[in-house]
Structure 1
Amino acid sequence: MRPVALRTPRLVLDLPAPADADLVTRYCQDPLFERCLTTPWPYSRADAEAFLTTHVPHSWASGIEPTWAIRRHRGGILLGVISVREAQHELGYWMGAEHRGIGLMSEAARAVAEWTLGGGIQGASTVFWRAVVGNVASARVARAVGFRRIEPDDAIVPTRDGGTLPAWYAVREATIDPRAHASWGDVLGVIR
């Protein structure tokens, strides 16, 4: 699969590049990442370089995990990263702390979900999401993008050390389920 750039009203999603290594390193040293993500911990410059020079190109070439840099404009600084893992069409994302809270991740996630469901990944009829229980910011993004919360019997997410933690799960189809927003009530409260 060849890398595909996506555009939204405020963002460009393009290929993460080796020049992004300093920002990836800094962003991924956020203590929130230790609690909520499976990125290596402590996160080093070598981890960022391996991600950008090996993982990202291989993931696009093989089609197993298209991964985008989130930027305000072409050639702009890296704000965050978003990907979709092909096997389950699972959406994953993170944003640098100083860029959170203004709806950028929701905008990027909507673009990637719609690309996936619109034929970007052949045969994808759903996009899956999961996060460690308590990762409210990620859940807010999923709700904003139209994911419907589901409760499988074994709702877990793997940890970096091979263990598991309880998780929240959600799914999105091409047409947003009318029950999607209300499905988040017990996690995020009811917002009209």
Structure 2
Amino acid sequence: MLPVEIRTARLLLDLPVPADADDVTRFCQDPLFQRYLTTPWPYTRAHAESFLTTYVPSGWASASELTWAIRAEHGGPLLGVVSVRETQNEIGFWMGSEHRGHGLMSEAAAAVCDWVLAGGIDGASTVFWRAVEGNTASAKVARSAGFRRIEPADATVPTRDGSTLPAWYGVREAEIDPRAEASWSGILEGAA
């Protein structure tokens, strides 16, 4: 599959490139990444270079994982990353710390879901989300992007060392389920 650009009201989602290595390295050294994500830790520039020159292009070529850079404009600096993995069309994302709190990730995640569910991925009728239990920032993005919280029997997520941690799950269809907003009560009580 060839990389696809997606535009939103405020963002351009395009291919992460080797020139993004400094930003990827800096963003992925955030202590929250160690706690909540499966990125290597400690994160080095070599990890960023491998991600940008090998992992991202091979994911697009095989359609196994489609990864977008989040930017404010064409040629602009990297703000974050959003991807969809082939297995269950699972969305994953992260945002650089200085770009959080402005709804940019929710906008990017919703746009990727809309693209997937409008035929961007053949046969996709749902997009899944999961995060380590306690990652309320990720859960807020999922809620804002129209995901409905679900509780599978084995609600876990793998960690970088191969173990698992308790996780929260959500699902999004092309038509946002009217129960979606209410499904987050209990874990996002009073969260804006």
Q: Same fold (TM over 0.5)?
A: yes
- Mapped partners of 1:187, 1:118: distance in 2: 30
Q: Deviations over 1:136-184 (max 9, x none)?
A: 0000000001100000111000000000000000000000000000000
Q: Are residues 1:105 and 2:105 paired?
A: yes
In the other structure, the counterpart of 2:17 is: 17
- Mapped partners of 1:163, 1:169: distance in 2: 18
- Mapped partners of 1:77, 1:147: distance in 2: 28
Q: Match for 1:181: what amino acid?
A: E
Give the alignment's TM-score, normalised by structure 1: 0.99
In the other structure, the counterpart of 2:119 is: 119
Q: Deviations over 1:91-133 (max 9, x none)?
A: 0000000000000000000000000000000000000000000
Which blocks of at least 5 consecutive residues in structure 1 are unaligned? none
Secondary structure of residue in 1 paired with 2:65: coil
In the other structure, the counterpart of 2:157 is: 157
Q: How does 1:39-118 map to 2 (within 5 A)?
A: 39-118=39-118
How far the C-alpha of 1:191 sits from its partner, in A, is 6.9
Figure out how many residues of one structure are paired with residues of the other and give that number: 192
Secondary structure of residue in 2 paired with 1:66: strand
Kindly report structure 1 stretches of 4+ aligned residues shifted beyond 3 Å. none
- Mapped partners of 1:86, 1:121: distance in 2: 9
- Mapped partners of 1:70, 1:128: distance in 2: 20
Q: Is the 8 A contact 1:29 1:42 kept in 2?
A: yes
Identity score, percent: 72
- Mapped partners of 1:191, 1:138: distance in 2: 12
RMSD of equivalent CA atoms: 1.0
Q: Match for 1:119: what amino acid?
A: G
- Mapped partners of 1:170, 1:9: distance in 2: 25
- Mapped partners of 2:117, 2:86: distance in 1: 12
Q: 1:32 to 1:191 in 2, by over 3 A?
A: closer
